[in-house]
Amino acid sequence: MAMQNRILGRTGVSVSPLCLGTMMFGPWGNKDEADSIRVIHRALDAGINFVDTADVYSAGESERITGKALAGRRDDVVLATKFFMPMDATDPNQRGGSRRWIIREAGGWLSGRWRKDAAGTPTSAARPSARFDMTSQANQRKLEIVEELARLADKAGLTLIELAISFVINHPSVTSAIIGPRTMEQLESQLPGAEVTLTADILDRIDELVAPGVTINPDDNSYGEAELAPAALRRTT
């Protein structure tokens, strides 16, 4: 089934419910240019017409790869970009520049990457950031919630990734969710989420596990969480 496009805000522009993020194409992620282009082409063939880029991704290499992949198809794509301004290295809140800020946004929690008692779960020694200190009470609670969400997804016949993506794109304030696959396998695992509509009982259970607007680990806070706080924005009426 083809993706059902949506109107982006008041622009009149029609975009797919999934937006292809390109951060992982290039040295930061997939170093194989030909494979990266294949992933982009597969996303376009699957109905994604919205592509997100940034000049900082792999120092511009990602944009070059994306441009090469869009040759001959540019008129079919809504291309978004963002520019990261130079940071003040003397400011402790900005030190490390835009690349550290981007890495801070990385997660993996709702892809099933981090699971309770799994060998691949990061330790504080491996990932010194407080966000990945699995000995903290907050992250222990997050691991418990991931297990509950995995059970909920399984009961609904979904993967954890499909549950997460469908939750985002079914939110009334979201037009399109940015996905950032590095490989073809990752892309294929994300695409089905665009076709899932979660039932009220699943949404109720998610709200029981994590109340709207709540951040389990304060170290995860970045920006935008306030937009999810009003309960009225959680559902369509």
Is residue 204 over pLDDT 60? Answer: yes
Average pLDDT for 164-175: 91
Tokens of 32: 């194989």
For residue 56, count CB atoms less than 10 angstroms from its CB and return exposed for 0-12, middle for 13-18, buried for 19 or more. Answer: buried
Percent of all residues in the chain with a pLDDT value above 90, rounded to a whole number: 57
* Band (27; pLDDT cuts 50, 70, 90): very high
- Residue 61 scores a pLDDT above 80: yes
**162 with 153: CB under 8 angstroms?**
yes
What's the CATH code, domain 1-106+174-196? 3.20.20.100
pLDDT in the model for residue 99: 34
Model pLDDT, residue 91: 44
Span 105-163, pLDDT tens digits: 466 667 666 666 655 555 544 444 667 777 888 888 988 999 999 999 999 999 999 99
pLDDT of 87 above 50: no
Give me the pLDDT at residue 89, please: 41
Q: Are the beta carbons of 177 and 168 closer than 8 angstroms? A: yes
Give the Cα separation of 149 and 161 in Å (integer).
Answer: 10
The confidence score (pLDDT) of residue 217 equals: 82
65 vs 99, residue with greater confidence? 65
Burial of 48 (0-12, 13-18, 19+ CB in 10 A): buried
Q: Where are the domains of the chain?
A: 1-106+174-196, 107-155+199-237
Starting at the edge strand found earlier in the chain, the sheet holding 50-54 runs 78-82, 50-54, 18-21, 177-179
> Buried b vs exposed e over 89-110: b needs ≥16 C-beta within 10 Å?
eeeeeeeeebeeeeeeeeeebb
